[in-house]
Structure 1
Amino acid sequence: MTDIASVSIARPLSELADELGTSFAEYGFAVIRDHGIPADLIARAEEMSKAFFALPDETKRSYILAGGGGARGYTPFGTEKAKDASVHDLKEFWHVGRDLPADHPLAEYMAPNIWPVEVSGFRETFEALYAAFDEAGRKVLSAIALHLGLDEHFFDATVEDGNSVMRLLRYPPLEGAEAEGAIRAAAHGDINTITLLLGAEEAGLELLKADGEWLAIDPPEGALVVNIGDMLDRLTNGRLVSTKHRVVNPKGEAAYRARYSMPFFLHFRPDYMIETLPSCVDENAPPPISSHEFLLQRLREINLA
C-alpha cells in the first residue's frame, strides 16, 4: 500500500501522531490496527447487516424515513450519487445515528433512530458498535490534535454529541459483462470530520493520489481504514486532505458477489463553527461556517436533501 501509514493505535499517541498525520497530509488516508472494537462485536454486526439486507424489498422499504434525507433507517438502491456524478451509486444502506434526549439542546438536529424488528438483537448490537466507533474515532482525533500541535483533547468538545452516522452498506452483485470494473461508489470526498471504515479488506476501495493515479487500499482483516473528511480539511485549510476515493467492482469471482462494509462518519457538533485553525491560516483560508450548514450544503449536492 505504498506509504500510507498502518499504525497500532494501542501505542502511545505521542509516538504515532506524526506518522499518522503525515499520511493524512499526503494521502488523506491511514490504516488503524488494534483499534479496540471487539472482533466478536464486528462479526455479530456483519451477520446482522447481511440478515437485514436479505429481507424482502418491501420490508426494507417500510423503513424509509420520508423527508429524513436518509439520515436514519433505510435508503434503497439507486438513491445516492456522488457530487457532480450523472448516475446513482450501486448500493443500498442503513443509517444509525446518535440518540439524544428530547430536551437536549441539539436534539432538533438529530432524528430518533428507527430499528428493524425482523432482525433479533439488531438495536443492541448496533448501539454497541456505534459507541465503539465513537470511542475509536476520538482516539484518532487525539493523535491528529498532537500532530497539529494542539492539546491532545482539543477535538473532544468539537465532537461531543456530534451528528455522527454509522452506515451499513451493501453493494449488490452485478450481472454479465457490466460487473467487472463497474463503479459501486463514484469518486467522492466525505463530508464529515473523519471516516472510520470496517470491511475494506474486500477489494474495491481506491484513493486518488496527487499524481492522478488510483491506489487500491488493501488493509489487514479487522483493521480500520480512516480518512479525512471535508470538514477537517476545511478546518486545517487543506493541511490534512480530504482525498477523493471510490469503490470499484473487483475483477474475477468477487465481481459477482455482494460487498458489505460499515463506515462511521464522525461529525463535529452541529453548532460547531468550522473556522480555520490559527496555525493553518493563509490568504486562501475559507470563511467560517457551522458544521450543520456545511452538512446541509453537501447533502443537497449528493441527492440526499
Structure 2
Amino acid sequence: MKPVPSVDLNDFLSDDPIKKQDFVDRLGKAYQDIGFVALKGHFLDDALVEKLYSEIKNFFDLPTEIKQRYEIPGIGGQRGYVSFGKESAKGKKEGDLKEFWHFGQYVEGDAKLEAEYPKNVIVKELPEFNAVGKEVFKMLEKTAKYVLRALAIHLNLKDTYFDDYILNGNSILRPIHYPPIVNEPKEAVRAAAHGDINLITLLIGAQGKGLQVKNNKGEWVDAIAAPDELMINVGDMLSRHTNNKLKSTIHRVVNPPKDLWGTSRYSVPFFMHPVSDMKLDVLEGCIDEAHPKQYENITAGAFLNERLIELGLKN
C-alpha cells in the first residue's frame, strides 16, 4: 500500500453523490492522517506539463549572470529568480541546494491587490516562458479551488467557503531546479525538513524518489506520485485555521545516492495562498473540550510576513 493515498478529482466533479462524498471522506481522512494526497483528474494536460518542463529547463540553463538580472531586491523573493542556496528552512542556517523562479498572481478586477502584489517578471530571452507559466498557474489554481471545496464540505462549511479568499489570492508557482551535486554537502540537502506556509500546495514532479514525508510514527516515507498525479499537501495556514484537524506535514527533499549526484532534479510546486486580509482565526467547528483553541488570531498577510523573515527571504 502506498504511504500517500490517491484520489481522483473526477469523482468530486461527477453528478454521483456517492462518488462525491467518497472523495470528500477519503481526502479528509488523508489530510487528518498524513497531510498528503496524490490527485488524479486535475486540469493540467500532458502537453502543457511537457511545455512547462521545456521552458523551465531552458531558463535554468541560462548563464548565471543572465539569471541574476531577474533577481529583484526588496520583495522577499516573491517574483522572479532566487539564486542557489539563498533560501533555508525555518531554524536551519544552511541554504537549500536549489535555485528557483516565482510566478505570482494575475490579478483580475482588483486595483488594490494589483498595487499590493509585486509585478511578474518577464524573461526577455525566452518568449514562451511567461505565457506557459501563466497557463500552468491558472490550471493549478482551478484544481486547488475544487480541492478546497471538498475540504470545506469535510469541515461542515459551505462548499464555496474558500472561494472569495482565494480569488486573486497571493499564490505562487515555483519552478525549482536542484542542480547536480559537485562537492560532498556538509549539512545541506536539496530541501531541508519544513512545513509549507500556505493553505495547500500542489506539486508537479514528485514521480521520482527524493520527496519524503514524516508520518504519524515519526518515520520518513517516500512520497511518490504516478506520472498523471499531483502531490497535494496541507500548509500551515490551513492547519492553523482548522486547529490542526487538517495536518501540515513536515517534508523534505533528500540528496540522491552518490552515483546520481551528476543529475539535475526539477519540481514545480504551486503554493495556494488566500488574500492577505483573510482571518486565520481557528474555526469554531474545530474547537471542543478535547481540542482547545491552539492559536492566536492572525491574518494571512501577517502570518506570511512572519514566515518570510524566518526563511531568510525578508529582513
Instruction: Measure the CA separation in 2 of the matches of 1:47 and 1:94.
Output: 14
CA-atom RMSD, angstroms? Answer: 1.7
Matched, 1:124 2:131: yes
Question: Alpha-carbon deviation of 1:75?
Answer: 0.2
Q: Kindly provide the amino acid, as one letter, of the partner of residue 295 in structure 1.
A: L
Aligned partner of 1:246 in structure 2 is 252
The answer on whether the counterparts of 2:108 and 2:168 sit within 8 Å (CA) in structure 1 is no
Any idea what the Cα deviations from partners look like across 1:173-208, whole Å, max 9, x if unmatched? Answer: 1125559x9610000000000000000112100011
Any idea what the Cα deviations from partners look like across 1:241-295, whole Å, max 9, x if unmatched? Answer: 1111000022254332010011000001111111111110243331211110000
Instruction: Measure the CA separation in 1 of the matches of 2:255 and 2:173.
Output: 22
Trace 1:1-305 onto structure 2 (pairs within 5 A): 2-12=2-12, 13-100=20-107, 104-175=111-182, 177-178=184-185, 183-251=189-257, 253-282=259-288, 283-305=292-314
Any idea what the Cα deviations from partners look like across 1:126-154, whole Å, max 9, x if unmatched? Answer: 11111001001101111111111222111
The runs of at least 4 aligned residues of structure 1 exceeding 3 Å deviation read: 176-179, 252-255
Instruction: Measure the CA separation in 2 of the matches of 1:45 and 1:239.
Output: 35
Aligned partner of 2:17 in structure 1 is none
Instruction: Measure the CA separation in 2 of the matches of 1:209 and 1:254.
Output: 26
The DSSP-based 3-state class of the residue aligned with 1:138 is helix
Q: Kindly provide the amino acid, as one letter, of the partner of residue 23 in structure 1.
A: A
Q: Kindly provide the amino acid, as one letter, of the partner of residue 91 in structure 1.
A: K
The answer on whether the counterparts of 1:170 and 1:260 sit within 8 Å (CA) in structure 2 is yes
Instruction: Measure the CA separation in 2 of the matches of 1:93 and 1:231.
Output: 23
Question: Alpha-carbon deviation of 1:3?
Answer: 4.6
Aligned partner of 2:16 in structure 1 is none
The DSSP-based 3-state class of the residue aligned with 2:174 is strand
Equivalent residues, number:
304
The answer on whether the counterparts of 1:188 and 1:245 sit within 8 Å (CA) in structure 2 is yes
Instruction: Measure the CA separation in 2 of the matches of 1:272 and 1:37.
Output: 28
Identical positions, percent: 38
Q: Structure 2: 5+ residue runs without aligned partners?
A: 13-19
Q: Structure 1: 5+ residue runs without aligned partners?
A: none
Which TM-score applies when normalising by structure 2? 0.92
